[in-house]
Amino acid sequence: MRQNQSLTANVDWPLFVVYILLMLMGLATIYSAAFDSDHPSLFDFSQKYGKQVIWLCVSLFLGLCVFLIDSDIYRKFALPIYLFVILLLVIVLFMPPINGARAWLGVGTMGIQPAEFAKIGTAILLARFLGTININQQNKSTVLIANAIILVPMVLILLQPDAGSFVVFTAFLFVLYREGVSYDPLILGILNLIPIKGLHFKQTWIGTHFIPILFVTIFLSVATLLISNNSFELSLFPGIEFPGYAKMLFFIFVFCLIGYLIMRFAFSKRDKKRAALIAFLAFILAGGLTYAVNYSFQKLAGHQKERIELVLGLRQDPDGDDYNRNRAMAAVGSGGLLGKGYQNASVSSVESNHVPESETDFIFCPFAEEWGFVGSLFLVLLYLFMILRVIIIAERQKAAFNRIYAYAVAMILFYHFGINIGMNIEFMPVIGIPLPFFSYGGSSMMSFSMMLFILLKLDSQRKDVLN
């Protein structure tokens, strides 16, 4: 039941103010980074800063439109919204490629990226499904459907290919864990197929150990990537060199064996046999996942593989493939403590052109160069405040739909913020992820604005929602 109330009642103004502040700061940085002395007007729509003004106005208009819609509409039409964005992702695969990817839907210079709006559709449907009353989060069908909602757009985005958006969609997996949905039921079902009399795996063990297995897999994947490119020689077979993948498999085998022995003797005598088998299967699972990750790495497109190798230090190419990150880091560092001042950037200026895409993926560079460490810290704190504010909003919701959607927004913002800043300081590979509300671009600005205004609407009506 809903009560009559003013349009702006219960709006979370701190979140809205930070949103406006980030957009204005981003516009000012784009104006500085792409400034053309022949076109000094901010409202010159032939320039990127002029176009960004249009995108800001359009984004605010779309945000107001979605805010005027009753929040029940998003629940009722979650599936049609999701199917619509999936249709856009399918249509875009038949569009002419731009910069090697079929990611844009439009004509000429006017177009949108359906992948940006797919995040909204996926978040809404995931919230609608997981927010169903009395849903069993530990049911196999629940796990399958929830993951299918995420995987369908991920596969279509991978076909474009758009590695950045593909990575961002993994943010939804953390939302699943927040709601108690994990891969545990599927793993349990597989393990319980083992034909050993009296052997039955319970939920408690899987729930306790799956996350450690995941982190072990990440550690193993990075470790084996670091050593798998070079051949090696085993002392048992002197003079015979084994290729990198043999070394990787040998490394995984030794790790699993050591882990098995440790777990074998770490339990009491009564549970030792069972514990040893569980430990062995856990380490085998980690090893198998590691091999899958490494195999997938070898199948990546050339430029994607090269970017990961550059991050891991497997190859050095500061003036070639790693030029963007190298110049970005130089620009960030040149800002010093207090920066060089507004429109005084040199390394990331449009005249020097040392940092390509300084108004999009590397928008943090000119900002850091102009405002230094202090300004950069302020910007980081603004994003952290926004993300924490979204989490606070999520935790005060009465309806599960609102809470799940809010956590999806928080994770997407965190992914974009973390990866984009990481790209600019040589901590992450360059995968083309914009800085929310800051980078130049219409699709990202509109989608992030709509996503945030939907959240503001859901939160403003939280007191009228009966779960």
Which of the listed ranges 74-83, 110-119, 172-181 does the model predict with the highest average pLDDT?
74-83
Q: What's the average model confidence in pLDDT over 49-65?
A: 92
In the prediction, which pLDDT does 453 show? Answer: 95
Letter for the amino acid at 10?
N
In the prediction, which pLDDT does 204 show? Answer: 46
In the prediction, which pLDDT does 167 show? Answer: 85
In the prediction, which pLDDT does 55 show? Answer: 92
Q: Regarding predicted confidence, which is higher, 436 or 354? A: 436
- The 10s digit of each residue's pLDDT in 2-14 is 444 556 678 889 9
Q: What's the average model confidence in pLDDT over 439-461?
A: 91
Q: Give the three-state DSSP class for 326.
A: helix
pLDDT category at 163 given cuts 50, 70, 90 is: confident
In the prediction, which pLDDT does 46 show? Answer: 81
- The 10s digit of each residue's pLDDT in 340-385 is 888 887 777 666 666 766 777 888 888 988 999 999 999 999 999 9
Collect all residues with Cβ–Cβ distance below 8 Å to 153 and sequence separation of at least 6.
Answer: 85, 86, 89, 115, 118, 121, 122, 169
Q: What's the average model confidence in pLDDT over 308-330?
A: 60
Q: What's the average model confidence in pLDDT over 316-345?
A: 73
Q: Regarding predicted confidence, which is higher, 282 or 381? A: 381
In the prediction, which pLDDT does 28 show? Answer: 92
Q: How far apart are CA 113 and CA 439, in angstroms?
A: 15
CB hemisphere CA count around 426 (13 angstroms): 19
Q: What's the average model confidence in pLDDT over 326-342?
A: 81
- The 10s digit of each residue's pLDDT in 13-41 is 999 999 999 999 999 999 988 888 888 88
Indicate whether 191 pLDDT > 70. Answer: no
Residue closest to 122 by CA, chosen among 74, 177, 163: 74
In the prediction, which pLDDT does 70 show? Answer: 86
Q: Regarding predicted confidence, which is higher, 408 or 236? A: 408
pLDDT category at 271 given cuts 50, 70, 90 is: low
Which of the listed ranges 147-156, 278-287, 315-324 does the model predict with the highest average pLDDT?
147-156
- The 10s digit of each residue's pLDDT in 218-228 is 666 666 555 55
Q: How far apart are CA 371 and CA 348, in angstroms?
A: 13
With beta carbons less than 8 A apart as the criterion, state whether 256 and 280 touch.
Answer: yes
Predicted model pTM: 0.76
Q: How far apart are CA 455 and CA 403, in angstroms?
A: 10
